[in-house]
Structure 1
Amino acid sequence: MSIMSNHVYEPLEMTRSPPTSSDHAVEVTLQKASETVENIEWFQVTETRGHTEGGKIVHWQVTLKAGFRVED
């Protein structure tokens, strides 16, 4: 069991619209953000939407907040 530490976090808000799934959108968004932002340690999905045509999902839109730890 991990214990939450006494760090300061800076929040980011990101949105992605893939044709695959909401889970994939979260994974790819966090991977992409990690290429330029270090120390991302948490995320929260704040909104999930989608677009349909003919009763089928054609794409998802996922908005998430992520927090990166500010160096001491």
Structure 2
Amino acid sequence: AFVLSFIFTWLFNGSGGSLLPVLLFHTLQNSEEVFEQIFPGLVGTDWELISTLALLVVGIVVGVIVRRQKG
């Protein structure tokens, strides 16, 4: 949770103060638990690492898009 606060702050600041990338990242992070319930065979595998990296990529992309739109 401590590291995530830095990621949330970085997304917020990097997007020029927009909450959209932060909210999307948080929503995607919470959806990870749903996928683990739907696909229980993935628990204990590299799924958590892969999903965390995917979340970071999505967060960065959204942050860049929002930042470019704000100018």
Give the structure with the higher percent helix: 2
Structure 1 length normalisation: TM-score?
Answer: 0.30
Structure with bigger gyration radius? 1
